[in-house]
């Protein structure tokens, strides 16, 4: 999913934790119990990242993220 400054997503469950990792696996951004389905990623450099959602039902989803 290509994005620029703000990441917005839709999900059927509430995410307890959201983390963004760079292409080497280093944690570059973390949100604990986000209040909205929005994250300001304007401080991250353009490139390829992994977006990890930990949901309140125990499910974990990892998505590819491209910041332009």
Domains with residue ranges and CATH for the chain: 2-67 (2.60.40.10)
Tens-place pLDDT, residues 5-45: 777 777 666 788 999 999 999 999 998 877 777 788 888 99
Q: Which positions ≥6 away from 10 have C-beta within 8 Å?
A: 37
Rg (CA), the chain: 11
3-state secondary structure of 33: coil
Structure tokens, 10: 């839709």
Residue 6 pLDDT:
77
pLDDT at 36: 75
Would you state the structure tokens that stand for residue 22, as one six-digit string? 């760079």
């Amino acid at each position: 999913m290509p994005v620029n400054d703000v990441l917005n997503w839709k999900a059927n469950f509430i995410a307890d934790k959201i983390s963004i990792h760079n292409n080497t696996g280093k944690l570059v951004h973390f949100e604990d119990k986000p209040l909205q389905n929005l994250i300001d990623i304007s401080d991250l450099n353009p490139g390829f990242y992994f977006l990890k959602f930990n949901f309140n039902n125990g499910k974990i989803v990892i998505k590819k993220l491209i910041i332009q």
